[in-house]
Structure formats: structure tokens, C-alpha cells
Amino acid sequence: MLENTTEVRADYKEKVSGDALYVNDIVRPGMVYARLLRSPLPHARILGIDKSEAEALPGVVGVFCGENLDEAFCKEIRWGLYFKDRPIIAKDVVRYVGEPVVAVIAVSEAIAEDAIELIDVDYDVLPSVTEMREAAKPDAPLLHDSFDALNNFYFHGGPKPVEGTNICHVYEYDQGDVDKAFAEAHTVMEEEFSFPGVNHYAMEPHGLIADYRDDQLELWSNGQTPTAIQRVCSTVFGIPLGKIRIHTPYIGGGFGGKASVKIEPLAVALSKFVRRPVKMQYGLVESMLTCRRVGTIITMKTAVDDQGKLIARSIDVIGNCGAYADTGPASTTKAAFRAIGPYTFENLRLRSRAVYTNTVPAASCRSIGGPQATWAAESQIDELAHAISMDPTEFRRRNLAPRHGVIKADLRPIDVCVRDEMEHALRLMDETMGAVTASSVRGMAVAATDPGILPISGAIVRLRSDGHITVSATTAELGQGARGVQRLLASRYLKQPISAVTALEPDTQSAPYDWGTGASRSTVMVGLAIEDACEQISQQVIEAATLALEVAPDDVEIVSGGVQAAGQFYDFATLLQRFQGISAGEFIAIGRVTPYSKNGTLRQAPLFWETSAGIVDIEVDESTGHIDVNAIALCVDAGKVLNPKAAIGQDEGAIVQGLGHTLTEQYVYEDGQLINGSAFDYKVPTIEQIPTMVSHTIENGDGPGPFGSRGMGEGAILPIAPAIANAIRNKYGVRIRSLPLTPEKVWLAINQKGKGNEI
């Protein structure tokens, strides 16, 4: 590990002291506030809206609804990432409970809340569908009459919907002869696994301030991807990109729930409507009605030969995308990829379908499709091992792909050794917990995912005459430590103390383009851009010293505070004085990363593999089905850790999130209504439930990023659910195939053993 200093994370002190600014802390002159009336129905036609009483309430600045959307108001009424499927605000039809129908803009949030109560909406109820399998049927109620596809966001050639259905994207891939392999196999197993929609549950709900004036737009947003917000707002409102400025202050967590674009077009519309800055700040319940993780049903069929070697796998994924596509199609497709696992199959069949339903739209969430895929894949790996009477650990040892082995023929060979990770995790658990007790049991799982990274990034680095360095990039600081890594890298590359480096708040007006914050890409992609910029600055400094001091380039060395040239020290101000006649100025460069950087080595996907191995030690109360997780041992390969404290925090945070979707978290619908959409009813792990967590990071310095790093932070969430289910299988001989592992579900499985215990 690179050595850590207390100065790497400048945001620690700001956050602990309360000085850190988030969107909700920001006030703009003349700012007004918006509150939303949301649909109480899963699917209905809007027949009429009576907003007269709300408009007459003192303090109300405006009331906005679908009837205000026309070509005179905005260039595009609908927007999206794969399809233009989402209206700025519900127009004519509502498609899920919680969809914004009317917005009230007032001089205070309290007045806006009061005005909401005065609005009456008349609906005509339409047939609805919330279950993904039902939605995929040809005769299911249609959410959208047609598909207006976009072709330049994620999929080459655009999404592939099935006209006349709710299936908004289909992916198919074949490798080898799967049917022949199944026919000739020693053992074949086919099972179905379900994973529910879950909430991102960031500490800070969605929020932003929009200020639309004189055909210019300025936003203060807690979105993870400022340039995507800029692009969508430009398209929807017909504003040139250069006239849209996005500020990204500190963000209180995102986990993908604030990635791409979520609520910004509506806030911009409201600001344009009243010609004043508008703050739209959601609460927790509203964020739960904004987006969630994709729920999936995965049917998996796997074959082994008589030596216990994996020879074929067929994967069929159905993904519940909700009412609008958002990033659901990508998550569903990635689930098919990631269900392969860190194994080599000569024969593969992948099928995935992303389906519209009358539920909250599904979005990216920490390792898109990864937890869903690993839940199915690693549960079945254990079950296969038991079926052929082989120890699950030994079964994995025989089948894990070696470093540089091929996981999927059109992807980069895997660049880590997952077997090493597994052995480290096993050792860690033994060292931490000792032998298994009479009441406890252990389970394991491994995972390999291909982060969906576009190698497009930029950073501006400036070395001032006083030796201070600033780094400007559009990577959002979500709590993961992005700005700290930017400071550390600039400090190391330019050989200056980290106290001399400032990472600026992202601002699209001054920072270069970056694809976005997600997919574990920031350290690698922005880091490479910083490396490029610092190399240019180093060349500029050496050139200036060579010319001004009349020394050879080899006699110049950049040191703390200046340069050492031919045995003599010159601070940067003196060097600039000698070079340009004034002791002021700077050395400045923009670093860029494109698919052609690093001699084109960034073009093949994935840029790196994100992998993990996890071991759990649990106890089950057989009288109630309650699971106590005693300990979790984890190993990941990050190539090189740049900030050890932040790295440990990332892994531990991911483990806790994994415990959430394993034990308690799920969106529960009845008659189209989300019935647990509150902090009281939606259960996340509390501090009392956090187990002993130990982790190890393998560092071979062989990643594509700075100092040989690769992305991390998502891998640790992957093995938790299957490892716990595998532990239950090891002790009780029952296989639970649906999450979460609630006490009722576990109790029934244990007590109905041998009576159809597939739950």
C-alpha cells in the first residue's frame, strides 16, 4: 500500500465539523421551493387537474403539470437514456405509484406542502402489472405504445426492444455448443433464483437547485454524472452545452441511485416556468419512489463432466425495469455477463430481457447486475458441488479460471487470480474465528464482474508560482474519497507535499469532460488523466529550467517547492522569473484519456475485472429462523491501494449493503402499491447487526490505473448473499433461492426439509 497521511482526505474535517456544503445547504438569491403531488395509482389516464385553489394560495409562485408541456416550452417533452420514454412530468398517463403529477412552486416548502393538499386530480384507472414475468407476456397491459430508441448511450447499435410488448431490451449470446454439452454431461442442474428490487438508501436524498435565466442554465445537483445531466438538459430544453453549468458539491452517498439523470429535467422546467431559482429537495420516501435496484429472476442451468469440471452454463435473466427504462436494460444485460462467474465455460448461452412494469423505475446500483448474478451463480455452484459429493471449496479450486483465463470470448481475459483471493479469505476467517463451533456454520462465494467503463475522462492540473497545485475534474465526491485520490496523485506525480494540493469542486464550466462517477472507474480513469496532465507539466518545468538556467534536461529534477538544477535549488517563482521575466504565472495542462490512450490498450472491455471472495460465519436460531452473522472475511484484488483507510471503508460499506439485501431489504408491492416505502417499514442493517469484518487486499501493482491500481468498492458486495445461503445449505441441507433470507423463509426451509423445501 502507498503510505497514508491524515491530509489525504481534506473532506474529513469539513464533514465532521459541519462545514461541508451539500445541495440542501445552498441558498440562491430569489430562490423558491418545489413540492410534488404524486400519483396514487400504478396506471391511469389523467382526465383533469384542478389546481385553482392551490394557485390562489398566498405565497404560491406557480403550479406546473403536464398541460404546461408543449413545443413552445421545451424542445423535447420526453427524455431518457435508452428511450425517450419519460415525460418531464406526467402527461396524460401515470405509470407507477409515486410518479410526479403536479409541482407547486412557493416561497417556502411549508406553503408548497399546504398547496399540494388543495389540488384535485381526476383519473381513469388502467390495467397494471407489477410482476416482471406477467409483464413480459404478449397479452400484458402495455406501459408504452412504442419505443423511441436512443443509440448513443450504452449499447452499440442501441437497445433492442420487442415491439408491441413491455420488453424494452433483449440480449442474446452463444458460445460453443451448449445443447450438446448438456446432453453429454455427467450432471446437469437447472434452478431459478429471484432477487428483489432494493433501495439505494443514501444518507442524502435526491435534491438540486435549478436556475434558468436568459436561456442559460445553472444547476447545483447531487447527481453523480454532471456531464450526463448537462447533455440531457441541453437536448430537452434546446440550450447549448456551453450555456449549461453544473455544480456538484459534496454528495451524501449515491451508489448509482444518483447516476445518469434522475430529477434534473423537472427542476429545470420549474425554474423556467417561474423564472426564478427553484430548489427541489426530496425526503427519503420520495427517493424510494425515484429509483431502485433492478429486481431479477435468473434461470440457470449448469453442467459438469465426470471429473467435476464445469463444461456448460445457460443463463436466462428477466429484469424488472419499472415504468421507465433508466439504466435497467444495462443492469439486466450485465447480470447475464456476471452470472458466468470467475469460471471458464467452453459452452455458454446468455439471454436477458429487460421488462417495463408499473413500479418505481430501476437504476444502476452498486455493481449493476452483479449481486443478482452472483446470488444465482454461486448458489448453484455450491449446489452442484453437493450433487457430485465434492467439497464446495475444492470444487471451486478445480474450476476457477486462472489469471488471464477467458471468461467470455469477447471480453478481456481476467486479470486477477480469484483462487488467490479465495485462499486469503479462508485464511482470514480461520485466523479471526478459529474452528467452526457446534452452533455456527460457514459458507463461501466468489465473484467476477466486468465494470462498464467508457475510457473517456479529463483533468486540468495547474502548478502555481507559489508551488500550490489545483486539480479540476468532474468526478463527483460521494464519500468514496475521489478528491482525496486526486490530491494524492497530483502530489506524487509532481513531487509536492499533499498539503499543497487542492481538488476543486466539480464544475462543468471549468472542468473537462468525464463520462461519470460509477463502475469503480474514478481512480483509474481520472487518475490516468491526472497522470497525463502531470507528465505534461513536468515537461514544461524541465523545459523552462533548461532554457532559463542553461542546463541540460538530465540535470533538472523537480523537488518539493521547486527544482534542483545543476546542484542548485530554485523555487517555482524564481524559475518563472528567470524563464519569463516575472515571478508570477503557472504551469498548466489538461490530461485526457480516450479509447486510444495507452497505445489503444483501453479499448477492450472491461478495462479491468472487479473480483472478490467472501467467507461468512453464521448462526441460525432454529426456533425463529433468525440469522446472526458472526463474521465476514473478504479478499479483493485492487492492484495497488492508494488510500488504505478509504479502501477499507469501501469494502466494509459494501459488505453492510450486501447484508441488507441478503437479510431484510426488498420493495414489497400489493395491488400496485409500494407498501413498505418508509424508514419504519423498509429495514436496513443497524449497527447492532454489523458482524466482525476482516479484509485483505491483494496488491501486485498490475492494474491499468495509476501505480498499477484497478477499481474497487463494488466487488465486496457480491459474495455476501450466496455465502450466507450456502452456509445454511451446508448445515441444514436446504437451498433457499429467493432473497431476502427472512426469518420466516429460513424457518420454513429448515422445518419443511424434505417436503418441497425449494423456497
Judged against a pLDDT cut of 50, whether residue 4 lies above it is answered with no
The whole-angstrom separation of Cα 503 and Cα 485 is 9
Please calculate the CA angle 285-290-294 and round it to the nearest 5 degrees: 110
The whole-angstrom separation of Cα 228 and Cα 248 is 13
16-29: per-residue pLDDT in tens?
A: 999 999 999 999 99
17's enclosing H/E stretch is helix 11-17
- The closest alpha carbon to 382, from 243, 666, 191, belongs to 191
- Single pTM value for the model: 0.96
Q: Which amino acid is at 104?
A: V
Of the listed ranges 127-131, 177-181, 755-759, the least confidently predicted one is 755-759
Judged against a pLDDT cut of 60, whether residue 552 lies above it is answered with yes
609-629: per-residue pLDDT in tens?
A: 999 999 999 999 999 999 999
In the predicted model, what is the mean pLDDT of residues 430-448? Answer: 96
CA 434 to the chain's CA centroid? 35
Q: Which residue has the cell 462517477?
A: 517
Top pLDDT among 752 and 69 is at 69
The domains located in the chain, with CATH, are: 11-126+201-288 (3.90.1170.50), 292-452+605-751 (3.30.365.10), 457-600 (3.30.365.10)
Judged against a pLDDT cut of 70, whether residue 428 lies above it is answered with yes
697-754: per-residue pLDDT in tens?
A: 999 999 999 999 999 999 999 999 999 999 999 999 999 999 999 999 999 999 987 6
DSSP string, 302-336: EEE-TTS-EEEEEEEEEEEEESS-TTHHHHHHHHH
Alpha helices in 452-556 (DSSP H): 482-494, 522-549
211's enclosing H/E stretch is strand 207-213
192-224: per-residue pLDDT in tens?
A: 999 999 999 999 999 999 999 988 999 999 999
222-264: per-residue pLDDT in tens?
A: 999 999 999 999 999 999 999 999 999 999 999 999 999 999 9
DSSP string, 329-345: HHHHHHHHHHTT-SB--
In the predicted model, what is the mean pLDDT of residues 414-443? Answer: 97
